[in-house]
Structure 1
């Protein structure tokens, strides 16, 4: 039974999604000519490219078994899908924002009956209701930032990554409605029927995510210095030690280290007397 994975066909999360699959060992056979349906190097797995906004519904309906798309779209569509993993990229926030000249600075300043323009009417409506604010929702399909300045709305609810676009359009954030990132989702029925293969895919992807920001540090060191090495080089479960057959009293040590700690760790190891130090990239941690 084959697995069909729905990926965004374009946009800022499309290439990272394809790259993640490739690093997990599920690369596309044809990376140059991206087609609607693409084969991978696993005969049981194929990829379907479509709009990110349609992926929650396609997965919920069973048109795809798995999908990668933003949590904001999953929640907005209220899709009946099983969330398998937060893929930790494509991070953004759905925020409530008002013009800089507005008196609205915080949620308590929002008046009853305020009009909010957004591409996310369901999430925005729930947010207002949960906060006891009767308001009107105006659904737009783009250019949300301009709505308050042409009399369409008092506020907007829109996605932002850094807040730069809001500032450029003279808008200020009032509150965060939802924090979003790309998630791996599954059709519940397909997951029950094809759980073993889907978990293999999930494990491969999670292995890539777990390896991000990690390096493998390896070296040779005198056996007498092992205690010092252990304190200087903490690994995920402690450093691994093996005998070096060609040199008496010399052992080989390796451990997984956070990338931002490598510089300090290597210098500490050199002071202890470690030699032949290697720092190696890690593709996956299973």
Structure 2
């Protein structure tokens, strides 16, 4: 199976990092190589221009592709979207000079729009019933209104800073985009494709989560359960035997601590932002031996 990924630019490093964290470690992938093997002998990574990845997938040169939703819309190909990878977030916006006469989409009638996304832009103005001349440019899009090449632009923005520096104001959002995992439609349900999807989603699910472990007096267990904002409730285990009790423990096999209190081990997955408050609360309830660790992957 072949996965096409961005060969350079702002999406390259985050994509490679995600694959590595998902267990698809690259092997023999020198900077100038066009492809790399992975630790999985069935999976090969192809390094492709981000804008070309949708075509690679649709035409069968690759089975899976990782690129921005904006690139897929611009390519106009039929591929199956499997997963939002939650990085590379940006907006494709219509913008015009702050002191110009384009203040709404209807003002584009008979005017010129410069963009690196001509297909998306033509579709956008057509849907609004506006007759505008769309001109494709390959860079410095923000400059075109100031050199009288265009009356407005459609361009990518993340924070809006570049537009503001160039005295351009957002007229309307055209498309909200992020990096997605796409598949060729005829292989979208194949086991290997689903295996890769699960590996990537497990990394995303673990982000911002922590694994919390502690010893808790049995007589305070219900109170502790109330303050732990875990996924599906905490797991309760006997400390001595290590036997898992699920979420409905009894106390007949609990370990008795030095102070005579019967205790069990409580494990839970919690949001990172809740860790400080949770530890404070469970300590008040008698929890001890509290340990917090990072989670690399979380599979449902």
Task: Give the TM-score band, short-chain normalised.
Answer: over 0.9
Does residue 1:68 correspond to 2:66, yes or no?
A: yes
Change (3 A) 1:129 1:33: closer
Q: What secondary structure is seen at the aligned counterpart in 2 of 1:235?
A: coil
Matches within 5 A, 1:241-256: 241-245=236-240, 247-248=255-256, 249-256=262-269
Where does the alignment leave 5 or more consecutive residues of structure 1 unmatched?
none
Aligned equivalents of 2:32, 2:219: Cα separation in 1:
56
Is the 8 Å Cα contact of residues 211 and 269 (structure 2) preserved in structure 1?
A: yes
Structure 1 position 30, deviation (Å) = 3.7
Q: 1:257 — aligned with what?
A: 270
Q: What secondary structure is seen at the aligned counterpart in 2 of 1:38?
A: strand
Matches within 5 A, 1:139-178: 139-178=136-175
Structure 1 position 106, deviation (Å) = 3.8
Where does the alignment leave 5 or more consecutive residues of structure 2 unmatched?
241-253, 257-261
Q: 1:59 — aligned with what?
A: 57
Is the 8 Å Cα contact of residues 62 and 190 (structure 1) preserved in structure 2?
A: no
Aligned equivalents of 1:86, 1:263: Cα separation in 2:
29
Number of residue pairs aligned between Structure 1 and Structure 2: 281
Matches within 5 A, 1:72-151: 72-107=70-105, 110-151=107-148
Is the 8 Å Cα contact of residues 29 and 36 (structure 2) preserved in structure 1?
A: no
TM-score by length of structure 1 reads 0.95
Shift >3 Å, 4+ stretches: 30-34, 103-108
Deviations, residues 89-122 of structure 1 (Å, cap 9, x unaligned): 10010000011112433445x2411211000011
Aligned equivalents of 2:165, 2:30: Cα separation in 1:
36
Q: What secondary structure is seen at the aligned counterpart in 2 of 1:191?
A: coil
Aligned equivalents of 2:108, 2:88: Cα separation in 1:
32
